[in-house]
C-alpha cells in the first residue's frame, strides 16, 4: 500500500455524549504522529458544516485545549442531525454528495473520520463508496459514538458506559432519598432516562442495585410492551415489601398497540405533532390515580448524556482508543470500516480492551437491541448476564479539573480555514 499524502478532516454527528470529544482527541493526537497527514481540519456541525465549507484548522488550537477536550462533554466541533437521504430526497442527496466531494477535493482531504451513531456510519459508508466510484483516493473510517449502545458488532458504544455510570449513581442516590422518606404510607419515584427504541440505558441502572431492597425496583424497557395491570401489581408488591418503589423507564416505552406512552395527545405543536410530556409523567399519573400513592418524577434528559463530571474512565479510554485506531487503520491503507471495541479476557479473568475493524456496510442502519435472555422472566429487570456485561463499562472515573467549584471544560478557538468554493447557495436554502 503506497503512502497517501494529504489533509485530514474529522467531524461529529448526532446527539452528543460525555466522551465523544475523547474520540476526536484520539484522532487529532494520533494524526500528529504521521507525516503523511498534512493539515488537520475539523468540520463544524458534521456534514452540514462540511457542505457549507465550514472547516477549522486544528493546528491553530493549543495542545492544552486538545488535552482538556478529552474530559469535556458534548461535541466540541458541533454536531447535526442532517442526513444525506437518497431514498426520500434523491435529488438533494445527489447535490449534497457532489458538494461534499467539491469540498474534499478543494481542501485535498485524503483522510475522513466521522464520529457518530447509526445514521453517521451510514453516511460514512456512502461517502466511502462514492470516493471509490469517483476515483478520489480518500480513506474513510467511522468512529462509533452513541449513548444508546445500539450499534452492532462492537462490544459497546463509546458514550454508553458514561451515561449508565451517571444514571446508576443517580438512581442509587434517589433510592437513598426516597427510601429515607418512606413512612408508613409509602411513596414512588419514576425516573425517565433516554432510549427511544433500545433499553440499554434504562437497563444500565440495574448496576445501582446490590440487594432486592435497593433501587431500582422496576425497570421498564422500550423493547417490551407496557402492561399497566402487571406494572401496578409490581409497584404495589414493592411498596408492601419496602415501603417505597423506584421505577426507571426508557423514554420510548410503548403500549401494547406500539404507541409511546409519553405522547400527550391533548396538546400538539405548530405542525400538529403531539407534544411528548414524557413517559415518567404518564406513569406517575397512572400510579397516583390508581394506587393513590404519592409519586414524583425525575427526567434526566440531556443532563445524562453530558454528565462528564462523573464519566466512566473505561468509556473515555475506549472512546479515545477508537479515535487512535481509526487514524492508524487509515494510514495503514484501510477504508470503509468502523472501528469497534473488542473485549478480551486475560488469564486472570480481567478484561483487556482492544479495537477492531468492521465493514461499514455491516453497521449502517442496523439496530442492536437488548437480548431477551438478558432480562428477567417478568420483564421488569435485566438479569445477571446483563450485569456481567455492563459492570466493566463503568469502571474508573475521569478526573476533571475544577475551577471555582465547577468542572473546567474546554472549547476550540475555531480558526476558520479560508473557503475556496462559492457558497452552497440553493443547496443550503433547501436543506
Footprint (CB under 8 A) of a copy of itself, residues 29-58: 45, 48
The span of 97-105, 133-141, 169-177, 419-427 binding a copy of itself (CB under 8 A) equals 169-177
Single residue of 397, 414, 419, 427 touching a copy of itself by CB under 8 A: 397
- Residue whose cell numbers read 431492597: 213
Identify whether 148 is a catalytic site residue. Answer: yes
Single residue of 176, 351, 415, 430 touching a copy of itself by CB under 8 A: 176
Return the closest-CA partner of residue 106 out of 6, 225, 20, 208: 6
Return the closest-CA partner of residue 52 out of 343, 348, 431: 431
Phi-psi region of 226 (alpha: psi -120 to 50; beta: other; left: phi over 0): beta
Q: Is 272 in the site for a copy of itself (CB under 8 A)?
A: no
Smallest gap from Cβ 345 to a copy of itself, in A, equals: 18
Single residue of 300, 331, 339, 370 touching a copy of itself by CB under 8 A: 300
**Contact indicator for 146, 161 with CB cutoff of 8 Å:** no
CA–CA separation, 406 and 69 (whole Å): 16
The span of 138-146, 338-346, 362-370, 406-414 binding a copy of itself (CB under 8 A) equals 406-414
Q: Is 266 in the site for a copy of itself (CB under 8 A)?
A: yes
In this structure, the strands spanning 263-268 and 244-250 are unpaired
**Contact indicator for 99, 424 with CB cutoff of 8 Å:** yes
Residues 63-92 that bind a copy of itself (CB under 8 A): 72-82
Q: Is 173 in the site for a copy of itself (CB under 8 A)?
A: yes
Give me the catalytic one of 68, 96, 119, 148: 148
By beta-carbon proximity to a copy of itself, the closer residue of 356 and 407 is 407
Residues 191-230 that bind a copy of itself (CB under 8 A): 191, 207-208
Residues 92-151 that bind a copy of itself (CB under 8 A): none
**Cell numbers given for 291:** 394506587
By beta-carbon proximity to a copy of itself, the closer residue of 266 and 426 is 266
The interaxial angle of helices 90-106 and 118-134, nearest 10 deg, is: 70
DSSP bridge partners of 104: none
Residues 313-342 that bind a copy of itself (CB under 8 A): 314
**Count of CB atoms situated within 10 Å of the CB of 263:** 18
By beta-carbon proximity to a copy of itself, the closer residue of 306 and 339 is 306
**Cell numbers given for 253:** 416505552
> Annotated active-site positions, please?
148
Amino acid at each position: 500500500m503506497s503512502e497517501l499524502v494529504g489533509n485530514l478532516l474529522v467531524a461529529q454527528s448526532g446527539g452528543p455524549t460525555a466522551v465523544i470529544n475523547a474520540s476526536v482527541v484520539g484522532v487529532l493526537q494520533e494524526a500528529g504522529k504521521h507525516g503523511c497527514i498534512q493539515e488537520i481540519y475539523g468540520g463544524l456541525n458534521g456534514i452540514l458544516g462540511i457542505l457549507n465549507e465550514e472547516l477549522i484548522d486544528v493546528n491553530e488550537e493549543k495542545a492544552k485545549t486538545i488535552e482538556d477536550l478529552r474530559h469535556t462533554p458534548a461535541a466540541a466541533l458541533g454536531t447535526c442531525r442532517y442526513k444525506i437521504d437518497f431514498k426520500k430526497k434523491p435529488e438533494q442527496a445527489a447535490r449534497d454528495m457532489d458538494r461534499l466531494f467539491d469540498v474534499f477535493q478543494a481542501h485535498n482531504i485524503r483522510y475522513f473520520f466521522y464520529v457518530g451513531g447509526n445514521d453517521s456510519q451510514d453516511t460514512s459508508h456512502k461517502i466511502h463508496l462514492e470516493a471509490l466510484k469517483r476515483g478520489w483516493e480518500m480513506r474513510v473510517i467511522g468512529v462509533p459514538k452513541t449513548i444508546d449502545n445500539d450499534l452492532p458488532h462492537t462490544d459497546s458504544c463509546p458514550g454508553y458506559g458514561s451515561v449508565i455510570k451517571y444514571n446508576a449513581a443517580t438512581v442509587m442516590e434517589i433510592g437513598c432519598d426516597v427510601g429515607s422518606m418512606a413512612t408508613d404510607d409509602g411513596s414512588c419515584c419514576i425516573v425517565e432516562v433516554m432510549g427511544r427504541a433500545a433499553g440499554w440505558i434504562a437497563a444500565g441502572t440495574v448496576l445501582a442495585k446490590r440487594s432486592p431492597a435497593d433501587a431500582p425496583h422496576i425497570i421498564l424497557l422500550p423493547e417490551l410492551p407496557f402492561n399497566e395491570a402487571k406494572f401496578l401489581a409490581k409497584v404495589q408488591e414493592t411498596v408492601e415489601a419496602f415501603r417505597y418503589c423506584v421505577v426507571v423507564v426508557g423514554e420510548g416505552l410503548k403500549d401494547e398497540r406500539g404507541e409511546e406512552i409519553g405522547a400527550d395527545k391533548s396538546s400538539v405543536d405548530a405542525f400538529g405533532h403531539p407534544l411528548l410530556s414524557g413517559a415518567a409523567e404518564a406513569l406517575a399519573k397512572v400510579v397516583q390515580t390508581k394506587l393513590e400513592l404519592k409519586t414524583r418524577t425525575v427526567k434526566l434528559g440531556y443532563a445524562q448524556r453530558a454528565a462528564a463530571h462523573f464519566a466512566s474512565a473505561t468509556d473515555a479510554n475506549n472512546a479515545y482508543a477508537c479515535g487512535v485506531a481509526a487514524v492508524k487503520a487509515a494510514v495503514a491503507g484501510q477504508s470503509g470500516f468502523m472501528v469497534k471495541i473488542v473485549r478480551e479476557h486475560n488469564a486472570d479473568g480481567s478484561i483487556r480492551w482492544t479495537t477492531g475493524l468492521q465493514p461499514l456496510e455491516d453497521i449502517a442502519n442496523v439496530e442492536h437491541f437488548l437480548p431477551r435472555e438478558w432480562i428477567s422472566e417478568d420483564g421488569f429487570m435485566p438479569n445477571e448476564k446483563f450485569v456481567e456485561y455492563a459492570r466493566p463499562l463503568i469502571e474508573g472515573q475521569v478526573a476533571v479539573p475544577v475551577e471555582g467549584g465547577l468542572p473546567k471544560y474546554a472549547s476550540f478557538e475555531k480558526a476558520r480555514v479560508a473557503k475556496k468554493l462559492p457558497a452552497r447557495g440553493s443547496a443550503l436554502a433547501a436543506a
